[in-house]
Structure 1
Amino acid sequence: MKDFSRSLLEKVKGPFKYENIFRNILEIISKGTESKDIVLFVKDSQVRGMRPLTGTDEFLDISILEKLTFDELEEKNVYFLEFSDENTGALFFKHGIPVTLEQLPDIILSLILVLNNFIMFRETSSKITRLSALYEIARFTDMLVNPSNALFSLVKISRSIVDYDSCGLYILDDQGLQLRYFHGITPNTIYRKDSNIYKALIDEKRPLLTHHENMKSFIAIPLITSEKVIGGLLIGSLRSYKFSNDDLVALSIVSSQLSSMDNLFNTLISVKTLTTDIVDSIKQGIITVNFEKQINLYNKKALDEFPQLKKVSKNTNINNVFCKGHELIRLINDTIERGIIYENERVEINAKFYEINSFALKNESQYIVGVVVIFRDITEVVEMEDRLRFRDKIITIGELSASIAHEIKNPLAGIKMVAQLLKSELSEDETSKEEYVQVILGEVDRLDKLINELNDYAKPQSQVIESFFLSQVINSVLFLLHKDIQKHDIEVRSELSSLLPMFKGDRNQFKQVFLNLFRNSINALKEAKDRKRELDISITFDEGFKITIKDNGIGISEENMKKIFNIFFTTFKEGSGLGLPIVQKIIKNHNGNIKIDSIEGEYTVFKIELPGSG
């Protein structure tokens, strides 16, 4: 026995590989008992019996053997190995149990101790396998770029847990389990509802450890989320007993975790989609920015108003999206840096008006972590308010002009009559006095004209609506002014296509519009002494008329631009200050719009927009 124990200890030294140990133990038992062809079986709950560790494919049904007496077992050439009051293994002597078994109890005791270590090793290995599985989940989860790949990563993760020949990911549909992704040997493309695999995974919701078709070792695991089976993971090996119960447990852990992750990702995606739909359906623009002034979110309305947002990627700073000095940047900076909250703040951006609200996002410690900006386009509201103010101004001026006309016109008529009488009574040698009288008459006529223009501007004007070509009206006005144009050496360049549609409006009023605008341009050009004088006129049509009148005259200062349409404001010595207000009134009465752009000393551009239907 001492020689046997020494031999056993020598055999088990070195790398702890149980197959080698059992092979050496069997060799020693064979020598000690002078018995050949001994097979060692170990209890395996997966196959509900005992499986051989070496040398055979035979199988012992433990449920039958455990009912037999010692003598009956001896007749079957079986010797049980007991440990902790449980049959953990068996020796099978193909040619009968040897008669001389003096050393066999001691040999069996040593073998049981080895089996005990083997069981402890497998339990430890099982724990390590579970931890490895969780580690692989964490490692591969970090690598997932697209959350929808969570389930598909199962195949790759499984490879790091078990060495398989074939692995397939199946998704449940109306016809059965459909193959979606695989690695290794091509598996079946579908398991229909009448198959055993389908019944075990879908109907019974239980995993399988068995053999299947050409796979001698086979694992099938249901993929379950929210107590609902959505598919299965099927793994096979061409080698017998390749997979253990620990492998089944580890793969079940991985499948369960990743199925839950997939369900969570899908839920998050659904919530995100719903949130995005809600945010996009809001008619107000929304932009959120974090503390580092990086854009986190914007909705469809914000993108419509500011198309440059389309180029925004993750962590894009707002200063790289909007130009320096942009009103949105100013408001966001004020909120982040100074904690200022804006409510119904009106700003002008790119010739449009917006009403903006901004407020700070704060964490539990009340520190600012971001800003939400909500805005809406109020350009139409502002224009309507301008029209209302304009109308009120017109009414006021109308009342004033009526009073002025009554109070001033009669005295003017008397002054003019006396001046004319005085002029007729002057003798030939009183020519110097005649010049004074002529100045009086000229100023009376100018005042009379001013009052008439003020009356025309203030009183409601009836419109004679007709269809006409705007180009014809422009050409007729240019013809009236051709002497002034030639006198000041002005080159007129016009793009007036005869293919444009007709406009519906008051022809005479638009004559007045173009007459006033062209005179304004001529006055600006004649002051420009250092350049070639040019007047450009163009008309285009795209769902409406766009008329552009540009001169390279003296331009308008930024300060005067704000007052250019005010009544009685003029920068010309002979101007009345009513020309451009009359132009604005006529265009507004035709549901149009007029804008002006100018740089002092360089140019002035009038842009008129008129509806296509007149």
Structure 2
Amino acid sequence: MAKGMVKKIRKGKRRGNTRRERELSALHEIIKSMQTLNLDEILHLILEGVTETIGFDRARLYLINETEKVLECRMAVGVEREKIQNISLPIDKENSIVARAVIEKKPFVISDALNDPRVNLELKKHFNLKSFAAVPLLGKDKVRGAVTADNLTTERRITAGKMASLVTFSHQAGLALENAKMYEELKSFSKQLEERVKAATEDLRRSQEQLIQSGKLAALGQLSAGIAHEIRNPLTSIKILIHSLINKLQEDEGNKKKDILVIESEIERMNQTIKRFLDFARPAEPTFSSLGINQVLEQTLPLVSHELREGNIRLYRKFSSELPEVLADRDQLRQVFLNLILNAVQAMPEGGSLTIATKVTSDRLKRAEKELVSGIQEATPEGDFIGISFTDTGCGIPPEKVSDIFDPFFTAREEGIGLGLSITHRIIDNHQGSIKVNSREGEGTTFTVIIPVKRQGSMKNAECKM
């Protein structure tokens, strides 16, 4: 595209009066065409202007790398591409005449490059320099780079007129280059902003889902409490009467006694179900203390060793040794870990593996929730949460059911009442944490629990609430 423009402009410049006027007119047209091009096209057009219009045999363009404080050779005309790769010049006027042109913001003409100590030795070797011009690319506020040009093939002398054209053109090109770089920076910033907005929107969507989930749990909790009390009261009376009957039965009425014991066992099972309803409806207030997540996990694993062994499930521990302490309820966390481990066991009826991992992490979801409520954006550091993941190689969860798994009474199994994950969700929520699930049907599932680390003053605040 840029090359086609130069050829078109060169045809038009022949209509001028003097050679100088034609040259300046052509350069002006090139500058005008730069306003609609991207950075690489502008760089190419600058070099084409220096060679095709002004008439130099070769040209090289250097841009300033602000981070590394060097001039990098980005593009060249009349030079093999391989020769400009990895060419960078420290911005030090004692080291290079090109860098000096940038620092002093003025052009230089070198008539004897081979013997001039100001010319970088690397440039002499790479480009076989004899005589050349070095001109800064000046923007409005600062220098953007430099152009060097020479006549290696024709060995024409660099005249004052050619130098004047090169300086004028380079200054205008510097302004166009500055505009292009500013546009690219704006485009890059816009893209970053778009990604941040997208991430924040996703976080807020997840926050909203959690708030809706909490609302569901609260409403169903009240309903469960009422139902549980209505059932528990008559069950208690029945249990007392059965105990009384057992004591009255004679030795020769053993079969009757056996039947009644079965009834008593079934009543106890119903009592346990009701207890789970009540635990869900009115969970105990957490008793916070400073504790280590790894230690709670180690205390929990012996409780499920039988299930893991019987289910032919291999256990892998990936516990970080550098976890800060958390402020949490030990018994409630143990219940969470038990629920998630048993859930994994049930997902692997044919055996498999369970990997439990802990690490310091960052949870944008909880931060977004807090900022949404307070209206204040907090500059919290990365790594202010602990993540505990439970990864199984089980059957996975169908995609259409993933959003339902924390709903009360949702279960994919014939037995069970589907309260384990709901209770787990509520406990974690009461710890100002979050729980996430990632599942692939037929491959396995990962549950990740996020708990905030203990901060200075947290214990004091927790004690005030208790």
Shorter chain as denominator, the TM-score bin is: 0.5 to 0.7
Q: Give the structure 1 partner of residue 367 of structure 2.
A: none
Query: How far apart in 2 are the matches of 1:387 and 1:441?
Result: 40
Q: Give the structure 2 partner of residue 550 of structure 1.
A: 391
Query: How far apart in 1 are the matches of 2:290 and 2:434?
Result: 19
Aligned residues: 339
Query: How far apart in 2 are the matches of 1:584 and 1:417?
Result: 36
Which protein has the larger Cα radius of gyration, Structure 1 or Structure 2?
1
Contact 2:235-2:267 at 8 Å conserved across structures: yes
Q: Give the structure 1 partner of residue 451 of structure 2.
A: 610
Counterpart selection for 1:381 from 181, 193, 204: 204
TM-score (ref. length: structure 2): 0.57
Query: How far apart in 2 are the matches of 1:476 and 1:556?
Result: 28
Contact 2:26-2:53 at 8 Å conserved across structures: no
Tell me, yes or no, if structure 1 residue 268 matches structure 2 residue 166: no
Query: How far apart in 2 are the matches of 1:536 and 1:173?
Result: 58
Q: Deviations over 1:418-473 (max 9, x none)?
A: 44455556677777766664554344333332332232223364222212222222
Highest RCO, 1 vs 2 (Cα 8 Å, sep ≥ 6)? 2
TM-score (ref. length: structure 1): 0.45
Q: Deviations over 1:465-496 (max 9, x none)?
A: 21222222212222223333344444333234
Query: How far apart in 2 are the matches of 1:174 and 1:573?
Result: 78
Query: Helix, strand or coil: the match of 2:295?
Result: helix
Contact 1:150-1:259 at 8 Å conserved across structures: no
What is the Cα deviation at residue 547 of structure 1? 1.9
Query: Helix, strand or coil: the match of 1:448?
Result: helix
Counterpart selection for 2:359 from 524, 534, 540: 540
Query: Helix, strand or coil: the match of 1:394?
Result: helix
**Percentage of matched positions with identical amino acids:** 27
Tell me, yes or no, if structure 1 residue 505 matches structure 2 residue 328: yes
Query: Helix, strand or coil: the match of 1:494?
Result: strand
Alignment of 1:435-446 (within 5 A): 437-438=260-261, 440-446=263-269
Contact 2:217-2:422 at 8 Å conserved across structures: no
What is the Cα deviation at residue 151 of structure 1? 8.2
602-611 vs 439-448, which deviates more?
439-448
Counterpart selection for 2:439 from 598, 601, 610: 598
Query: Helix, strand or coil: the match of 1:548?
Result: strand
Q: Give the structure 2 partner of residue 201 of structure 1.
A: none
Query: How far apart in 2 are the matches of 1:174 and 1:418?
Result: 100
What is the Cα deviation at residue 567 of structure 1? 0.9
Q: Give the structure 2 partner of residue 523 of structure 1.
A: 346
Alpha-carbon distance change, 269 to 451 in structure 1, aligned in 2, over 3 angstroms: farther
Q: Give the structure 2 partner of residue 468 of structure 1.
A: 291
Contact 1:453-1:578 at 8 Å conserved across structures: yes
Alpha-carbon distance change, 140 to 472 in structure 1, aligned in 2, over 3 angstroms: closer
Contact 1:524-1:554 at 8 Å conserved across structures: yes
Q: Deviations over 1:94-113 (max 9, x none)?
A: xxxxxxxxxxxxxxxxxxxx
Query: Helix, strand or coil: the match of 1:157?
Result: coil
Alpha-carbon distance change, 144 to 395 in structure 1, aligned in 2, over 3 angstroms: closer
Query: How far apart in 2 are the matches of 1:154 and 1:601?
Result: 64
Alignment of 1:158-557 (within 5 A): 178-181=106-109, 262=170, 264-276=172-184, 278=186, 286=190, 299-302=191-194, 375=198, 377-421=200-244, 437-438=260-261, 440-459=263-282, 461-496=284-319, 500-525=323-348, 527-528=349-350, 533-541=352-360, 543=383, 544-557=385-398
What is the Cα deviation at residue 512 of structure 1? 0.9
Q: From the two aligned structures, give the one with the greater strand fraction.
A: 1
Alpha-carbon distance change, 551 to 127 in structure 1, aligned in 2, over 3 angstroms: closer
Query: Helix, strand or coil: the match of 2:334?
Result: helix
Contact 1:151-1:259 at 8 Å conserved across structures: no
CA RMSD between the two structures: 5.0
Contact 1:152-1:181 at 8 Å conserved across structures: no
Q: Give the structure 2 partner of residue 9 of structure 1.
A: none
Alpha-carbon distance change, 174 to 501 in structure 1, aligned in 2, over 3 angstroms: closer
Contact 1:155-1:182 at 8 Å conserved across structures: no
What is the Cα deviation at residue 607 of structure 1? 2.2
Query: Helix, strand or coil: the match of 1:605?
Result: strand
Unaligned segments of structure 2, at least 5 residues: 1-13, 34-40, 59-97, 117-138, 141-158, 362-382, 456-466
What is the Cα deviation at residue 598 of structure 1? 3.2
What is the Cα deviation at residue 546 of structure 1? 2.5
Q: Give the structure 2 partner of residue 317 of structure 1.
A: none
Contact 2:50-2:56 at 8 Å conserved across structures: no
Contact 1:150-1:262 at 8 Å conserved across structures: no
Query: How far apart in 2 are the matches of 1:174 and 1:486?
Result: 73
Q: Deviations over 1:119-173 (max 9, x none)?
A: xxxxx9994746864797599989973566588659952799xxxxxxxx9x999
Tell me, yes or no, if structure 1 residue 589 matches structure 2 residue 408: no
Alpha-carbon distance change, 422 to 562 in structure 1, aligned in 2, over 3 angstroms: farther
Q: Give the structure 1 partner of residue 371 of structure 2.
A: none
Alpha-carbon distance change, 300 to 263 in structure 1, aligned in 2, over 3 angstroms: farther
What is the Cα deviation at residue 510 of structure 1? 0.8
Contact 1:556-1:604 at 8 Å conserved across structures: yes
Alpha-carbon distance change, 560 to 173 in structure 1, aligned in 2, over 3 angstroms: closer
Query: Helix, strand or coil: the match of 2:231?
Result: helix
Alpha-carbon distance change, 499 to 596 in structure 1, aligned in 2, over 3 angstroms: same
Q: Give the structure 2 partner of residue 575 of structure 1.
A: 416
